[in-house]
Amino acid sequence: MGFPGTWMTSSESVVYRVVPKCACSTIGQIMYYSDHGEFFEGDIHDAKSGMHKWAMDDSQAPITRNVQGHQSYAFTCVRNPYTRVLSSFFDKICGIQRNGRRYRGNLVPKLTYEYGIEVGGDDGKQEFDQIRSFRRFLLFVRDTVRYRRPMDPDIHWSAMSGHVSTFIWNGGKYDKILWTESFNDGMADVLSAIETPHPIDLTAIPRFNESEGHGPKRAHPVEDYFDDLSMHLIYEIYKRDFELFKYDFEDPSNKMPIGEIDLDEVHAKLGD
């Protein structure tokens, strides 16, 4: 299997396991800047040079050597499951992607037909019942994760623990798991532990939210989207995420973690 979703700076100063919808665009740009003294022009996910990515054949050998030998500091980043799945809905389901099309081609028409999900107009301005459509989307997410139908779970809403675990299975070890919600503090810990060819001033780094503006704005507070049934589905899908990464399942309005991540626990439970 190797190390899917793993990025490494060209200088091998640091290794990062990407978790979609968890500040990955900003982290990638910080890594790129740390080597080159400038940001990648465009979406860092499109970069085909200037850093190692597992998806590029030439990068797989150096990533494997580095990770299995734990030669560089390795980290990943996680996010509250409530806000992450909401972000996936508004970006990937309701939004128009940067190629000008709907995400995954016929996915949205399929969801409209099979689940009754509404997404608004292509201009993102047409009103629709966001709460009702999101709750129906959650049923679809549960079906993909639990039953792998009508498709396998998408990387943007599959459990974070699944992404994090592949790094461990194949011999990787994390030095840090940071929270999106306290990004600067966590990223400062990462940067203080490594040597970068170019210094990074986190206070001056823009947030590279590549999904910003793709879809309609969220019209309600987070907690309004989750009734008892929705919370039951969320726990069924993301139970391990809440437990390992110390998020508050009981209160959807609390996006902040409620405890410290235990790296030994993460390695033990996700290394099975």
What would the two tokens of residue 93 be? 């389901």
With a cut of 90, say whether residue 144 has pLDDT above it. yes
Tell me the average pLDDT of the chain. Answer: 93
Least confident of 68-77, 215-224, 241-250: 215-224
Q: What is the pLDDT of residue 261?
A: 98
d(CA 73, CA 192) in angstroms, rounded, equals 11
Tens of pLDDT along 189-237?
Answer: 999 999 999 999 998 888 787 555 567 888 999 999 999 999 999 999 9
Tens of pLDDT along 82-92?
Answer: 999 999 999 99
The mean per-residue pLDDT over the stretch 42-67 comes to 96
The three-state (H, E, C) secondary structure of 168-187, written as one string: HHCCCCCCEEEEHHHHHHHH
Q: What is the pLDDT of residue 7?
A: 98
Please check whether residue 141 is in contact with residue 155, taking contact to mean a CB–CB distance below 8 angstroms.
Answer: no
d(CA 167, CA 195) in angstroms, rounded, equals 23
- If one compares 119 and 75, the residue with the highest pLDDT of the two is 75
Q: What is the pLDDT of residue 209?
A: 72
pTM of the model: 0.94
With a cut of 70, say whether residue 126 has pLDDT above it. no
d(CA 219, CA 134) in angstroms, rounded, equals 12
Cα dist. 131→46, 56, 59, 128 in Å?
A: 33, 39, 43, 9
Q: What is the pLDDT of residue 45?
A: 93
Q: The tokens 């994090």 sit on which residue?
A: 164
Q: What is the pLDDT of residue 217?
A: 85
Amino acid occupying residue 73: Y
Q: In b/e form, how buried is each residue of 154-171, taking b as 16+ CB within 10 angstroms?
A: bbbbbbbbebbbbbbeee
Q: In b/e form, how buried is each residue of 49-63, taking b as 16+ CB within 10 angstroms?
A: eebbbbeeeebbeeb
d(CA 159, CA 78) in angstroms, rounded, equals 10
3-state secondary structure of 244: helix
Instruction: Label residue 57 by pLDDT band (50, 70, 90).
Output: very high
Residues with Cβ within 8 Å of 56's Cβ and at least 6 positions away in sequence, in order, are 48
With a cut of 70, say whether residue 124 has pLDDT above it. no
Amino acid occupying residue 24: C
